[in-house]
Amino acid sequence: MKILTQSEWIERARTVLPAAGFGNFDPGVIIARGEKSRVWDEDGNEYVDYLIGSGPMLLGHGHPEVMEAVLEQLPKGMTFFANNAAGIALAEAIVEAVPSCEQVRFVASGGEADMYAIRLARAFTGKPKIIKFEGGYHGMCAEAQMSLAPTKRVNFPTPVPDSAGITEGVAAEVLIAPFNDVEAVASLLNEHDDVAAIIVEPLQRIIPAAPGFLEGLRALCDRHGVLLIFDEIVTGFRLAYGGAQERYRVAPDITTLGKVIGGGFPLAGLGARAEIMVHFDKAAVGADGWLMQLGTLSGNPVAAVAGLKTMEILRRPGQYDRLRKTGQRLMDMHADVLSDAGIAHRIVGDPTLFDIYFTARDCRDYRSAHHDDPTQAGRWNAALRRSGVFKSPSKLYPSLALTEDDMELTQRAMIAARDAVLALPSQCDKVL
């Protein structure tokens, strides 16, 4: 069989894939394989991987213990559309780890989990409206695609659809608030008595919650009879073993989880206390209160054993201390390289997930978190990739697989990226 070059694969993709890609990442790179902290493209170029599948590969690629668990399961069966022991054991492990979860329902993707969380909140409260935060990402359902990345600014709480195909009726049920603004949320709840839930990323993309913000949302929800949904697809088992709610000590009513709990395989879920989750049980709530949920791969045993083994490894002493120490070292490296060069920047996020904004201003919500000169960010990221660092344009995910060699390569790449930014006239210079 002929071995194709990356450019040949890209050309084939243009014929059969819209925009030549899967819709997730730069279609100009075709990944051939991953091992530990590294990935290789189809031309054999090697990279330190800070994308890690957009988060799930917290242990790195091909962890031997996870691979062993998966290979043991494969001969026993790959999917059943029926209960299996591994899925039940995974649900038990999640309930033990995540403070807000008494019961769990599995789905195949984080977007599904968020969609069902919103629907579950409506079923439990009998109310129609949802409050979400501008710039918050909650998957691909119609409600989630409201004001995810609006290119035009409108007055709050008006939602802006980010996708074609969303009906006007959806906008009537979604209220948009600025992240980190408790007073804005309080005002909305005082004006609208038909809000079912507030859905929030405890770390919105990479923007941390300001002190008191999550606590303020919890208090408002309790006061107004509204459910609080934490979208922990990204933060679950990353910020801490019990997720953002363990780290920040604020418990939501409903939690959505994904990425890490599948160990790199398609698996996600949502959990809450039993009185809320009962709406998935038709025999208990009747036809009118029942939330139908089916999924061919929900609770898939291969994904479940991968998730179980991943969670077992994460429970071992020192894992999160090591992850945070590595992440903080990376943050400090970024700060040193950019500060020494006099390049205005903000490092935004948490040691377990962060990135840079090229700006001198604080980044606390969607409207303040952007680059003053986007060409600087483009030069920075392009230079990193040329130097062997693979990352998202807007996030950097540390992993437990990173080595000292990876850190040294990353630092050299940052110096090359700094030089690329310095070689570019700023937008201010162009104006002058």
pLDDT on residue 424:
76
Q: Please, what is the end-to-end C-alpha distance for the chain in angstroms?
A: 57
Q: Tell me the pLDDT tens digit for each residue of 321-365.
A: 999 999 999 999 999 999 999 999 999 999 999 999 999 999 999
Architecture of domain 77-314: 3-Layer(aba) Sandwich (3.40)
Q: What is the pLDDT of residue 296?
A: 95
Displacement of CA 372 from its chain's centroid (Å): 24
For residue 133, give the 3-state DSSP assignment: strand
Longest dimension (CA), the chain: 71
Q: Give the chain's mean pLDDT.
A: 96
- 241 flagged as catalytic: no
- Which of helix, strand or coil describes residue 50? coil
Q: What is the mean pLDDT of residues 248-254?
A: 98
Q: Looking at residues 206-210, what average pLDDT do you find? A: 98
pLDDT per residue as tens digits for the range 371-409: 999 999 999 999 999 999 999 999 999 999 999 999 999
Tens-place pLDDT, residues 402-431: 999 999 999 999 999 999 999 977 554 444
Set 36, 127, 132, 259: catalytic member = 259
Decide the pairing of beta strands 346-350 and 353-357: antiparallel
- Provide the pLDDT for residue 425: 74
Mean pLDDT of 16-45: 97
Q: Which residue has the tokens 């329902």?
A: 105
Q: What are phi and psi of 186, to 5 degrees?
A: -60, -40
Instruction: Say whether domain 6-62+318-431 belongs to CATH 3.90.1150.10.
Output: yes
**Residues facing 346 on adjacent strands:** 357
Q: For 45-52, what is the mean pLDDT? A: 98
pLDDT for the residue numbered 426? 59
For range 214-222, the mean pLDDT: 98
Secondary structure (3-state) at 69: helix
Q: pLDDT digit string (tens) for 99-152?
A: 999 999 999 999 999 999 999 999 999 999 999 999 999 999 999 999 999 998
Please check the confidence at residue 276 and state whether its pLDDT lies above 70.
Answer: yes
- Is 259 known to be catalytic? yes
Question: Which pLDDT does position 1 carry in this prediction?
Answer: 67
Query: Global pTM?
Result: 0.96
Q: Which listed residue (137, 241, 357, 366) is catalytic?
A: 137
Percent of the chain having pLDDT more than 90? 97
What digits encode the pLDDT tens for the residues 58-86?
Answer: 999 999 999 999 999 999 999 999 999 99
- pLDDT at position 430: 47
Sequence spans of domains, the chain: 6-62+318-431, 77-314
- Active-site hit among 41, 181, 231, 350: 231
Q: What is the pLDDT of residue 349?
A: 98
Residue 355's DSSP bridge partners are 348
Contact assessment for residue 120 and residue 254, using Cβ atoms and an 8 Å cutoff: yes
Q: Could you give the CA distance from residue 171 to residue 53 in angstroms, rounded to a whole number?
A: 32
Q: What is the 3-state secondary structure (H, E, C) of 321-349?
A: HHHHHHHHHHHHHHHHHHHHCCCCCEEEE
- Is 222 marked active-site? no
Give the pLDDT confidence score for residue 399 in this predicted structure. 98
